[in-house]
Amino acid sequence: MAATTIRGKHVDIRLWTQPETVEDQAMRQLHNIAALPWTFRHVAVMPDVHYGKGATVGSVIAMRDAVSPAAVGVDIGCGMTAVRTSLKAEDLPATLRHLRSQLERAIPVGFGQHRATAFTDQDASDWGAFWQGFEALTPAVKANSAKALHQMGTLGGGNHFIEICLDTRSQVWVMLHSGSRGIGNLLAQHHIEVAKALAHNQELPDPDLAVFLANTEEMKTYRHDLFWAQDYARRNRAVMLRLICDVLRAQFPSVAFETPISAHHNYVAEETHFGEEVLVTRKGAIRAGRGDMGIIPGSMGTGSYIVRGLGNPDSFESASHGAGRRMSRNKARKQYTKADLAAQTTGVECRKDAGVVDEIPSAYKDIDEVIRNQEDLVEVVAKLKQVICVKG
């Protein structure tokens, strides 16, 4: 669909969804972002848009010489990884419960962590230099070094997941969704509070939209911590993917894996758009430059998509990060039951208890409609449907 433009105070708001489908809270947030003097050109709003802390989830914000920590999200570097395997549907066992249990034993979920460090040189290079970077992080997180070590290669909770999926040709895929775990959250919360206290942020329409300005010590410190946390998230997914592949190799010794697809969807990047160097914040959005491979998941009972970016300049070369929630977690818990969850995840080997009712498919937007709304941003490469879903 063509983007709809809404006039904003400083810049316009361009939406790849029908404006009437955006909840009032989220629309107010979009207008707050569009009123900031640092926001460049326009705010690009993805079809999975919904209310978030400070900035909406599903928003792409380019700024000149400034960045808002809340516009990144509290899970810095959160994103997706997927890989196609050589397995076919008929290679999988008739009962998938044992395979799901093996995955849950290999990768801690929720608040869990590894008893010993799980990362190896197979997963990424320069681990020594990376962990040395921890020593240069803000002192506010120094007490969490052991936790950061042992959470490397863990899933977390909420909407994070590990899935075994089938595409329309019955090929088996591995897909996972996670971020920078507890350390990224601590860094995000710390820097949001630091930014709020700065003098130039005292008259903002929403204190959570506080920014750091270029050429300041606060910006320098934030950028270091931010890029370290984004690297943590990338490495975290790489460790998990290797652990998942190890589980599959143990059960299917001849399995082969193609080159993984990996993409952040809560992050900052230094990019050039419309001829200007800007800091682009994608919160619940992926980069979709021409030829970029991306992953757009639905929910724990619906399909997901592998996509290729079309490089649309008006979206700052971006696309949605998923289906996007259509109701809050609290509302989902009140409205739906375990029986509803079981019905909506029929055919998927997954948790079906009260602890994940807030992740029920009905709490999310229609992923097929979300994809249709961004046909000028991405092209579909493959459609997947999960047969196993591991949740924290």
Does the annotation flag 300 for ligand binding? yes
Residue found under tokens 């998509």: 305
Does the annotation flag 274 for ligand binding? no
How many angstroms separate the CA atoms of 113 and 156, rounded? Answer: 9
Does the annotation flag 328 for ligand binding? no
Candidates 336, 173, 309, 315; CA nearest to 241 is: 173
Does the annotation flag 66 for ligand binding? no
Does the annotation flag 299 for ligand binding? yes
Does the annotation flag 236 for ligand binding? no
Q: Please give the DSSP secondary-structure letter assigned to residue 117.
A: -
Does the annotation flag 297 for ligand binding? yes
Does the annotation flag 68 for ligand binding? no
Catalytic residue among 42, 114, 191, 321: 321
Does the annotation flag 177 for ligand binding? yes
Collect all residues with Cβ–Cβ distance below 8 Å to 12 and sequence separation of at least 6. Answer: 5, 6, 34, 42, 43
Does the annotation flag 139 for ligand binding? no
Return the number of other C-beta atoms located less than 10 Å from residue 4's C-beta.
13
Does the annotation flag 321 for ligand binding? yes
Q: Classify 148 as helix, strand or coil.
A: helix
Does the annotation flag 163 for ligand binding? yes
Phi, psi of 93 (to 5 degrees): -70, 155
Candidates 197, 230, 234, 227; CA nearest to 212 is: 197
Candidates 269, 273, 304, 302; CA nearest to 380 is: 304
Candidates 115, 114, 110; CA nearest to 161 is: 110
Residue found under tokens 């259509």: 326
Does the annotation flag 134 for ligand binding? no
Does the annotation flag 217 for ligand binding? no
Does the annotation flag 157 for ligand binding? no
Reply yes or no on whether 321 is catalytic: yes
How many angstroms separate the CA atoms of 348 and 66, rounded? Answer: 44
Candidates 392, 333, 378; CA nearest to 46 is: 378
Known catalytic residues?
321
| Binding region for GMP | 159-163, 265-266, 297-300, 304, 321-324, 391
| Binding region for Mn(2+) | 75, 160, 177, 265
| Binding region | 75, 159-163, 177, 265-266, 297-300, 304, 321-324, 391
